[in-house]
Structure 1
């Protein structure tokens, strides 16, 4: 079975951003993030995830 949203999952791995950090920014539980990633996201939702992950990675570098 192929996982949905591989680009989001790979970006989190590449940037070393844990799911709980993304969930904290979104204001949801980390299980909610996993549930949202189960099915293919819209372009807007993917852009939001990418923006959050990139922002967290930049903060981590400082």
Structure 2
């Protein structure tokens, strides 16, 4: 599974993908498509920062 670390972080934080997508500034469907391919380190860092903010 691609981006397993991000998916686990979302789950452990008790968040839903739509919440992270909204805070990231994109639609939930686009966020799902984004996670289908492994993200670059910069993109991952941005997503992890969003998750930290939402905790």
TM range, normalised to the smaller chain? over 0.9
- Across the two proteins, how many residue pairs are aligned to each other? 55
Instruction: Give unmatched runs, 5+ long, in structure 1.
Output: 58-62
Q: CA RMSD in A?
A: 0.7
Q: Taking structure 1 as the reference length, what is the TM-score of the superposition?
A: 0.83
Q: Which has the higher contact order (CA 8 A, sep 6+)?
A: 2
Higher Cα Rg, which structure: 1
Query: Which portions of structure 1, spanning 4 or more consecutive aligned residues, are displaced by more than 3 angstroms?
Result: none
Instruction: Give unmatched runs, 5+ long, in structure 2.
Output: none
Q: Taking structure 2 as the reference length, what is the TM-score of the superposition?
A: 0.93
